[in-house]
Amino acid sequence: MGRGIYINAFMSMVDDAEIMIGDYAMFGPNVTIATAGHPILPILREHHYTYAIPVHIGRNVWVGSNVSILPGVTIGDNSVIGAGSVVVDDIPANVVAAGVPCRPVREIGEKDREYYFKNRRLDVWE
């Protein structure tokens, strides 16, 4: 874990493999990061096969409440993962991503310098 990490209530990390979290990442309540999984093929599950693949979360990432991050995922620096998302594939840097499965919705850009939430204007730059 990096510096300045914020973790809200009830976070769960299944760390059978490495979980790397960059500086200043933030996690809402009820986030799950899972590095472990089980094969699709039933016979392999009968034999208790399991796998563990590292998860990498970049610097300054914000993960909303009730998000699940699955094995092998990398989330790029500065990205935001919307509440309730299930992250099954890599998410690039500097995007807002959401959904089931989680996908980039838009890039973080100039509008975000003016508004902090919907139509609520920032006043810190004046």
> What is the rounded CA–CA span in Å between residue 17 and residue 123?
43
Computed on alpha carbons and rounded to an integer, the radius of gyration of the chain in Å comes to 16
Phi, psi of 21 (to 5 degrees): -125, 125
Catalytic one of 38, 47, 48, 56: 38
Cα distances from 3 to residues 21, 25, 46, 109, in angstroms, run 9, 9, 42, 25
38 labelled catalytic: yes
Structure tokens at 88: 């099954």
Catalytically annotated residues: 38
